[in-house]
């Protein structure tokens, strides 16, 4: 699936700080009665991205992910994204 948009969200909810990155993704689908792009939004905690890339990312590095392809999102038992597997290495992933 291709990242077509990035939305970084930082704030406080119920007295707890949060830092999330919403990935707006699109993937093609085609069957007998349908064709086009299926779009979805996947929320990823910022600390998951730091684990994925092995470093903290700047806002511009996060924005540079637009246009990249994701192989898959891995989930924990609570159905939260625990790791993002990219289809190819990116400049952002270099330590």
Q: What is the mean pLDDT of each run of 10 residues along the chain (95 residues)?
A: 96 96 94 91 96 93 95 95 84 45
Is the whole model's pTM more than 0.75, yes or no?
yes
> 6: closest CA among 59, 48, 73, 51?
59
pLDDT of amino acid 95: 38
> 44: closest CA among 32, 36, 52, 35?
52
SS3 46: helix
pLDDT of amino acid 89: 59
């Amino acid at each position: 699936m291709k990242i077509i948009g990035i939305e970084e969200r930082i704030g406080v909810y119920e007295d707890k700080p949060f830092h999330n990155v919403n990935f707006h993704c699109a993937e093609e689908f085609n069957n007998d009665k349908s064709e086009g792009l299926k779009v979805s939004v996947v929320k990823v905690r910022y600390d998951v991205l730091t684990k994925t890339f092995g470093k903290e990312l700047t806002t511009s590095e996060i924005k540079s992910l637009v246009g990249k392809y994701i192989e898959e999102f891995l989930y924990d038992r609570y159905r939260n994204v625990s790791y993002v597997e990219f289809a190819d290495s990116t400049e952002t992933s270099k330590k």
